[in-house]
């Protein structure tokens, strides 16, 4: 018997050594950012067996393997969209996004900004109430709560009226959504699908790649996007209080681009490509409207579209950069761009929440703050409830509002969407919101920050090692 267990022990050891060598070789051959590579190696060293499992399910760079990209290929609809010339000041940014994502600049759009869930959902409910043809809904999280159920009931009523209702929710973000919730929608005549459901081993290995988009399109004429999910925390709050977020309502030619984004995702989850041009009706053109460029990113793209757009925009700044982000764990290009802008004389203000919904993410994020402060960036802790807004304003003209956080997960692993708005109206509204939020914020001091407790610094640095997983 003792001999048997010795054989088992040596066999297991040999198998583990082989698996570890294979995984370590794969990590090295991916030629990632050295920091990320070292992060995964540290995880392998600190947690030998668990590290291998985590890498298999969470660490593989499937963007390069084209596993998802091949699935999400979508035919060109040849839909006539009303495009606009690139804005002179940020023409390089617009050209970049056109090259990487195929995102076109459309002029004549009316953009409305919402900074509270009460206002955003009131407007959204009104537009859905008026829907005649179709309602397309896509959220990372749909909760089975007061707000989520009210939204479901509204969709069910419209579906019974003959409106075509399609709903996409992320499988992981919506894992708590009861079967009864979904069946109720289906029985009313609506269609609902999870995104990348982990219903077999292969799909389970894709669990790290999530659809973080929030998008609603009504009749192909009006669309919404931003940071809000379908959850009552945005309307009535939770343990962190009322969540502060940003949502935009778009009317005009840019809605075609947002519709296209939804239908690409729908073709993936439903298996059928929707090409009917009734989903792309003639749209109003607002003479004093703004240029909008709708940008998507995710592991189905060869490029990190939104991140590259953000870096390019920051690099073009001459006067001021304002940033809202709930999580600050930026890839090196973003961090370098912000610090370079500040060191060159651009006023850079970054606002993050003092209280966070994830302790380890918050700890990892704090490890990046000192570098910002030393570069002259003004960093503010939002103290009133929880800041979940994802918004950037450059020189009071270029606004970036969408679903992407300023972290590796959003820029490299998640499916995201963002509206690049070129115009002073939207920028001014966002600036006003930022200035209001400053009244509920405190500015961090570089000397005080540097001299905080050693064990806090240690914990933050340790959390940072796990940033590939966060």
CA 284, distance to chain mean position in Å, is 28
CA 140, distance to chain mean position in Å, is 9
Known active-site residue 451: no
Cα(308)–Cα(303) distance, integer angstroms = 8
Count of other CB atoms within 10 angstroms of residue 330 = 25
Q: What are phi and psi of 105, to 5 degrees?
A: -85, 125
Cα(417)–Cα(428) distance, integer angstroms = 22
Q: Are 317 and 394 in contact (CB under 8 A)?
A: yes
Known active-site residue 127: no
Known active-site residue 390: yes
Q: Find the catalytic residue in 134, 256, 324, 390.
A: 390
Q: Tell me which long-range contacts 233-240 makes (C-beta under 8 A, separation of at least 24).
A: 234/117, 234/120, 234/121, 234/147, 234/388, 235/117, 235/118, 235/121, 235/146, 235/147, 236/146, 236/147, 237/385, 240/355, 240/357, 240/385, 240/386
Q: Find the catalytic residue in 36, 134, 158, 214.
A: 214
Q: 3-state DSSP call for residue 186? A: helix
Query: Which tokens is 16 given?
Result: 């583990």
The length of the chain, given as a count of residues: 470
> What is the DSSP code string of 190-242?
-EEEEES---SHHHHTTTT--B---EEEETTTEEEEES--BSGGGTT-BTTBS
Pick from 248, 261, 220: nearest CA to 111: 248
Q: 3-state DSSP call for residue 260? A: helix
382: left (phi over 0), alpha (psi -120 to 50) or beta: beta
Q: Are 147 and 237 in contact (CB under 8 A)?
A: no
Q: Find the catalytic residue in 212, 221, 256, 324.
A: 212
Cα(237)–Cα(219) distance, integer angstroms = 30
Q: Find the catalytic residue in 101, 127, 219, 437.
A: 219
Q: How many helices (H) does the chain have, and how many strands (E)?
A: 19, 19
Residue 67: partners with Cβ closer than 8 Å, 6 or more residues away:
206
Q: Find the catalytic residue in 245, 388, 407, 437.
A: 388
Q: Which residues are catalytic?
A: 212, 214, 219, 388, 390, 395
């Amino acid at each position: 018997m003792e001999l048997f267990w010795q054989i088992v022990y040596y066999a297991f050891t040999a198998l583990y050594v082989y698996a570890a060598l294979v995984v370590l070789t794969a990590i090295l051959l991916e030629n990632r950012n050295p920091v990320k590579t070292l992060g995964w190696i540290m995880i392998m060293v600190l947690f030998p067996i668990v590290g291998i499992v985590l890498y298999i399910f969470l660490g593989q760079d499937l963007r390069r393997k084209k596993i998802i990209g091949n699935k999400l290929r979508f035919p060109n609809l040849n839909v006539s969209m009303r495009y606009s010339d690139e804005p002179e000041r940020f023409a390089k940014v617009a050209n970049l996004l056109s090259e990487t994502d195929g995102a076109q600049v459309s002029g004549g759009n009316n953009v409305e900004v919402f900074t509270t869930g009460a206002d955003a959902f009131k407007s959204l409910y009104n537009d859905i109430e008026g829907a005649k043809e179709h309602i397309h809904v896509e959220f990372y999280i749909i909760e089975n709560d007061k707000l989520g159920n009210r939204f479901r009931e509204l969709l069910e009523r419209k579906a019974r009226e003959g409106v075509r209702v399609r709903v996409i929710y992320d499988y992981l973000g919506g894992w708590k959504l009861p079967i009864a919730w979904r069946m109720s929608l289906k029985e009313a005549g609506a269609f609902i699908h999870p995104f990348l459901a982990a219903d077999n081993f292969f799909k389970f290995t894709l669990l790290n790649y999530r659809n973080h988009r929030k998008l609603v399109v009504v009749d192909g004429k009006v669309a919404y996007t931003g940071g809000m999910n379908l959850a009552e925390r945005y309307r009535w709050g939770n343990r962190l209080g009322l969540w502060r977020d940003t949502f935009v309502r778009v009317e005009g030619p840019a809605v075609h681009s947002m519709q296209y984004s939804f239908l690409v995702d729908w073709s993936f989850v439903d298996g059928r490509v929707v090409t009917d041009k009734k989903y792309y009706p003639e749209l109003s053109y607002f003479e004093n409207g703004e240029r909008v460029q709708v940008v998507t990113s995710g592991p189905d793209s060869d490029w990190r579209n939104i991140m590259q757009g953000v870096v390019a925009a920051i690099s073009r700044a001459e006067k001021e950069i304002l940033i809202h982000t709930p999580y600050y764990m930026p890839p090196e290009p973003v961090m370098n761009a912000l610090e370079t802008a500040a060191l060159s004389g651009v006023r850079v203000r970054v606002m993050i929440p003092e209280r966070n919904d994830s302790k380890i993410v918050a700890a990892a994020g704090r490890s990046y703050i000192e570098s910002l402060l030393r570069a002259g960036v003004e960093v503010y802790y939002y103290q009133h409830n929880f800041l979940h807004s994802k918004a950037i304003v450059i020189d009071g003209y270029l606004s970036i509002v969408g679903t992407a956080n300023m972290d590796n997960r959003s820029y490299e692993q998640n499916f995201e969407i963002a509206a690049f708005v070129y115009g002073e109206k939207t920028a001014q509204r966002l600036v006003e919101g930022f200035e209001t939020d400053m009244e509920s914020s405190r500015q961090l001091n570089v000397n005080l920050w540097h001299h905080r407790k050693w064990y806090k610094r240690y914990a933050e640095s340790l959390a940072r090692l796990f940033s590939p997983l966060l």
